[in-house]
Amino acid sequence: MAHLALSAARRWAQAPIALRIAVVYLAARITTTGLLLVAASLSTSFSRFGADAGLIDFVLGWDAQWYWLVAESGYPTELPLTDSGEVAENAWAFMPVFAYAAKALGFLLGSWGAGALLLSLTAGYLACLALHRLLRDRVGASAATWAVVFFAAGPIAAMFQVGYAETLFLLLLFLALDATTRRNYSWLYILIPVMAFTRPGILAFALYLGLHGVLRWLRRKEDPLTGREVAHILALGALATAAGFAWQLIAGIATGDPGAYLATELAWRRHWIVGGVQGFVPFEGWVQASQFWFAQWGMPQWWGPIALVLLVIGATATLLYSPQVRALGPDLRLWSASYLLYLLAVFFPQSSTFRLLLPLSPLWGAVAVPRSRLWRIGILAACLVGQWFWIYHVYALGSTFWQVP
């Protein structure tokens, strides 16, 4: 028996990485499908999916409906208004790449939902391959594989199987990070514009490119920096910045309202703020949310900002001093810091918070660094428990704005 186990382990180690990742990914998707089926069976008339919910309802649920609306009807040229005259939720909050790519696939498969599912699944598998490539030279092949296991089976793994743009964006992001760290800057001229119109977040990448350029300049003696590379970094930083604001410009031109995009995004925030939202102020969302949540939990509101400061200090200390995170190298740490700062500046933390943390997935490499089998199995078990908790609440029970995935 031991000989058979050793032989199987040897064959597994010798299998092509694409095959090994495919096996991991398939096992994760079967597990997620099982959890979604259980959630469907537990869905009741109080859930937005009804008592007879099925997997296709989940694929097309929540924000997937907005992407479908974009694919079928495009974007409004006149912003819808609420009864009080404020801009209502509308399609301008959702980027076009995923919506129309799913529509193209759906033309071949018979429906937008089928195209969206295939796109999410395929992009998710390719993202796993890209993540392994991004991590293997930093933490080793074994830890990189375990990082892919945690990524594919993590608490938000249902995103691999629904009509959201997440997995497509993650694929593009991992490829962009890999191209940057390997100095293959030319690929970014293609990846950056596609990322920018897939999902919000390209401004975080612009900040990362700036920090990457500063780091390379400071280390130019041990890591030579050519004039051509300086030109690439500057041009790409400008491209990412311009692309980050392009959607706001397009929305403004199409609707005749320069503030159309920001007003649309703030339409979702009004659900959470008593008295409404007057306008967008960077970093204000987290302060407001900290006060909101502490009040909901029956604690003094002023504790919220204090907890927020402690959270920022903790995240900064982890990125700077944790040996596991330091093992990922400076570029992935700079990306993580850039994205966290971006979220802190623009986001209002609510039910979608965990989903919006997915671009930090390279940090799974730090979680996978400890080689203890017990540790890794324990993390995987925690991922699966978290996945069920999330699926149960946003799909089986999902009925109101604070359960939006």
Of 86, 81, 169, the residue nearest 130 (C-alpha): 169
Q: Could you tell me the end-to-end alpha-carbon distance of the chain, in angstroms, rounded to an integer?
A: 45
Q: Which two tokens stand for residue 316?
A: 């900064």
CA distance 122 to 165: 12
Q: Which amino acid is at 40?
A: A
Q: In this predicted structure, which of 7-11, 206-210, 221-225, 330-334 has the lowest mean pLDDT? A: 7-11
pLDDT of the residue at 178: 98
Question: Over 60: is that where the pLDDT of 401 sits?
Answer: no
Q: Is the pLDDT of residue 9 over 80?
A: no
Does residue 185 surpass a pLDDT of 80? yes
Q: Model-level pTM?
A: 0.95
pLDDT of residue 117: 97
The residues, any chain, with a CB within 8 Å of residue 272's CB and separated by 6 or more, are 288, 289, 292, 348, 350
Nearest to 208 by CA among 237, 179, 231: 237
Domain ranges in the chain are 24-361+372-403
Kindly indicate the confidence band of residue 4, based on its pLDDT and cuts at 50, 70 and 90: low
The residues near 12 (Cβ < 8 Å, ≥ 6 apart) are 20
**CB-based contacts of 348: which residues, under 8 Å, 6+ apart?**
269, 272, 285, 286, 288, 289
Element (DSSP H or E) covering residue 65: helix 64-73
- Nearest Cα neighbor of 339 from 216, 160, 174 is 174
pLDDT range class, residue 136, cuts 50, 70, 90? very high
**188 Cβ neighbours under 8 A, 6+ residues apart:** 176, 179, 180, 232, 236, 239
56 pLDDT more than 80: yes
Answer yes or no: are the C-beta atoms of 349 and 357 closer than 8 Å: no
Integer Cα distance of 121 and 117 in angstroms: 6
What average pLDDT is seen over the chain? Answer: 91
Q: What is the pLDDT of residue 206?
A: 98
Q: Which residues pair with 81 in a beta bridge?
A: 87
User: What is the C-alpha to C-alpha distance for residues 18 and 365, in angstroms, rounded to an integer?
Assistant: 18
CB-CB contact of 125 with 25 (8 Å): yes
**Mean of the pLDDT values across residues 264-292?**
79
How far apart are alpha carbons 312 and 13 in whole angstroms?
Answer: 40
What pLDDT is attached to residue 275?
63
Question: Encoding tokens for residue 113?
Answer: 């939902």
Residue 256 in tokens:
């005749």
Q: For residue 296, name the pLDDT band (cuts at 50, 70, 90).
A: confident
**Residue 232 phi/psi, 5° resolution?**
-60, -50
For residue 365 the two structure tokens come to 């490499």
In sequence order, what are the residues at sequence separation of 6 or more whose Cβ sits closer than 8 angstroms to the Cβ of residue 81?
Answer: 87, 88
Q: Are 197 and 95 in contact, with CB atoms under 8 Å apart?
A: yes
Query: Of the segments 42-51, 160-169, 276-285, which one has the largest average pLDDT value?
Result: 160-169
- Count of CB atoms within 10 A of residue 303's CB? 15
Both structure tokens of 18: 């694409």
Residue pair 115/292 in contact (Cβ under 8 Å)? The answer is: no
Q: What is the mean pLDDT of residues 129-156?
A: 96
What is the C-alpha to C-alpha distance for residues 116 and 266, in angstroms, rounded to an integer? 27
Q: What is the pLDDT of residue 3?
A: 62
Query: Between the CA of residue 316 and those of 133, 334, 361, 389, what are the distances in Å?
Result: 26, 11, 17, 28
150, with CB counted inside 10 A (0-12, 13-18, 19+), is buried
Average pLDDT over residues 202-228: 95
According to the model, what pLDDT value does residue 241 have?
Answer: 97
User: Which residue has better confidence, 161 or 270?
Assistant: 161
Query: Which string of b and e fits 23-61 if b means at least 16 CB within 10 Å?
Result: ebbeebbebbeebbeebbeebeeebbbeeebebebbbbb
